[in-house]
Amino acid sequence: MEQKENCPVSDILRIYSGSSHPELAQEIADYLGCPLCCSETQRFSNDNLFVHLGESVRGKEVVIIQSFSPDVSDNILELLMMVDAAHSASAKTVHAVIPYYSYARSDKKDQPRISIAGRLIADLLVTAGVSHVMTLELHSPQVHGFFRVPTDHLTAHAAFVRYFRDRDLSNSVILAPDIGHAKRAAKLARALGVDVAAGDKERLTDDRVRVAGIIGTVENKDVIIFDDEIATGGSIVAIIELLRERGVRNITLACTHGVFSGNAIQRLSAIPEIKEIVTTNSVPIPAAKRLPHMTILSVAPVFGEAIRRNVLGQSVGALFAFWPDPDEATAFQPPFKDW
């Protein structure tokens, strides 16, 4: 511990970015006051990938940042190869930072003869040589238990609290689209001092859901729909139909992972009741998907602080997704550069 605290950052860390989200990787490196190391990824004529880490990692704490955004399979394979390269080159520790772990949706065997892919990918990461994983708000929290190495399941809770805290929320309610994610919504509601409600949702297909009803009072309220991710927007469309019937005309969407796949942006932009969309940069959001009323919060301080505390041997518990005290999640104020 003493040795780490007295070393310059450059003597401790080697931070690499995969191809999925170099902008976020640079923000994390900037937060830590550490350069982003160069790496090279090429594709051979036979479609095989080639990965090369551009600096020595022997005896270093290596951080590799890769979000599971499209093209997901290529990004996963690139991450596995980068991890294997660092492990084979005698890195002291290999930290895989995965802001969006898309296979967290595959957490159980709900059909015959299917793969529990969330566990499979976790096993592949360990086989490749990962020593430690950091990820953000898994769709299914039990996926945390799939990893056989220390895993920090982090939250963007503090970023949303800071964003909404200065608003007039006297007529607001936080709404979870389904009961399964009501715990996250309730945590945000407690921190903001507002009521919470939840939808009774059943998923029919990848892009179609049925919402049987809403538990809680939303009539004539300003509703903040809060979810871990928005992909196709099917859940949002279904629940807004019920909100219209209950006199709701002012809706804010808030989600950690703004995936916005397929025609989600077109579907959401066509709903006049949606006044604002608030998400994070856990996945890259191209210009074509950035609506005028969209706000993107950075999760770089969350990961930067988690990396800093891990390297210095300090507690990361206050940054965890299910830390019991909501005030603890907002206890750190960036930037931390007291190496």
CA gap 267, 288 in Å, rounded: 14
- Which of 183, 201, 221, 337 is catalytic? The answer is 201
**The tokens 């040795």 sit on which residue?**
3
Contact present, 245 and 268 (Cβ < 8 Å): no
Distance separating the N- and C-terminal Cα atoms of the chain: 12
Q: Number of C-alpha atoms within 13 angstroms, CB side, residue 205? A: 3
CA gap 220, 52 in Å, rounded: 57
Q: Let me know if 221 is a catalytic residue.
A: no
CB neighbours of 95 closer than 8 A, spacing ≥ 6?
A: 61, 62, 63, 64, 130, 131, 132, 133, 134, 307, 310
* Closest to 291 in 3D by CA, of 306, 278, 305, 281: 278
Q: Listing from the earlier edge strand, what are the strands of the sheet with 209-215?
A: 209-215, 195-203, 172-176, 222-230, 250-258, 274-280, 294-297
What phi and psi, each to the nearest 5 degrees, are found at residue 317? -55, -40
Show which residues are catalytic. Answer: 201
